[in-house]
Amino acid sequence: MTGQEPPPPPPTPAASPQGFRLAYVPGVTPGKWVRTWEERYPGVPLRLVDVSPADASEVLLRGAADAALLRLPVDRTALHAIPLYTETTVVVVPKDHLVTAADEVVLAELADEILLHPLDDTLDWEGPPGRPALDRPATTGDAVELVAAGVGLLVVPQSLARLHHRRDLTYRTVADAPQSGVALAWPEERTTDAVEDFIGVVRGRTVNSTRGRRRSDAPEQPRPERPGKQGKRSGAAGTHRASSGTGSAGRKPRGGTGGRRGTGRPRRR
């Protein structure tokens, strides 16, 4: 016994009194990461905050959420962001539309179609394709209703097409359309322990991987040498020295006596 107290256990990640607040935009499904968090940090409740794409950054900046799963681009001067994945882009059409004859289309094939461009569109168009509608729908959900009414077609990330699924509609991949990237973002000045732990969750780090935080925060440990490797080297060196000694000083000279080198012929008297 040395009298020293054992080191304290790792602290629970600090969070707001409401727990760890994670905002997410429509179409993004945080379920698998939420389940991992609940298994790993049962003492810190994770509260989901549903936000619109237009409000996601503002929710973070005013402190209404600790982090957010949102769509790129974001203002990198105010927010940190880790890109997670890129979505396939699809066109939503009625089930009896000619587009459904193929599994994939290109924008040129939609040039004569009325394409709806909602105000909450998440795709970074240089110029929306197709013929514009008379009015822009307020939301993607409103645009889907117009597609069902036969007013036009809608190009969106695949997750939004699934979110607003209807039995009378379907979708097809648009090969050359812009794509939507999903990222984890948080305010630059509020990189808390809880945020670091959630970064570890989304990156698939194990619970023993510096508590899910950045590896740069942990001191680098020397890489242990595999057992037996040093012994083999020393053993080989020892064998070499022993064989060297036997081949020179340890070997009895041929012929002769008294330490003189033998010639193999008898000495004259």
Answer yes or no: do 62 and 170 share one domain.
Answer: no
Tell me if 220 is assigned to some domain.
no
Do 31 and 70 reside in the same domain of the chain?
yes
Count of the separate structural domains present in the chain? 2
Per the structure, the complete domain to which residue 43 belongs is given by 20-86+181-213
9 belongs to a structural domain? no
Clarify whether residues 58 and 26 are in a common domain: yes
Q: Establish if 103 belongs to a structural domain.
A: yes
Structure-token pair, residue 91: 């066109």
Q: Is the dihedral of CA 107, 108, 113, 119 positive or negative?
A: positive
- Does 108 reside within a domain? yes
pLDDT, one tens digit for every residue, the chain (269 residues): 455 665 554 445 554 566 899 999 999 999 999 999 999 999 999 999 999 998 999 999 999 999 999 999 999 999 999 999 999 999 999 999 999 999 999 999 999 999 999 999 999 888 888 999 999 999 999 999 999 999 999 999 999 999 999 999 999 999 999 999 999 999 988 899 999 999 999 999 887 765 445 444 443 444 555 555 444 444 444 444 444 444 444 444 454 444 444 445 555 54
CATH of the domain at 112: 3.40.190.10
Residue 118 CA to residue 95 CA, distance in Å, equals: 21
Q: Are residues 52 and 165 in the same domain?
A: no
Of 164, 195, 213, the domain-final residue: 213
pTM: 0.70
Residues 105/123/141/86 CA torsion (nearest 10 deg): 80
Beta strand segments in the chain, E: 20-24, 46-50, 67-71, 79-86, 89-94, 104-105, 114-116, 131-132, 153-157, 169-174, 181-187
Same domain, 170 and 196: no
My answer on whether 26 and 73 are in the same domain is yes
Q: Do 115 and 165 lie in a common domain?
A: yes
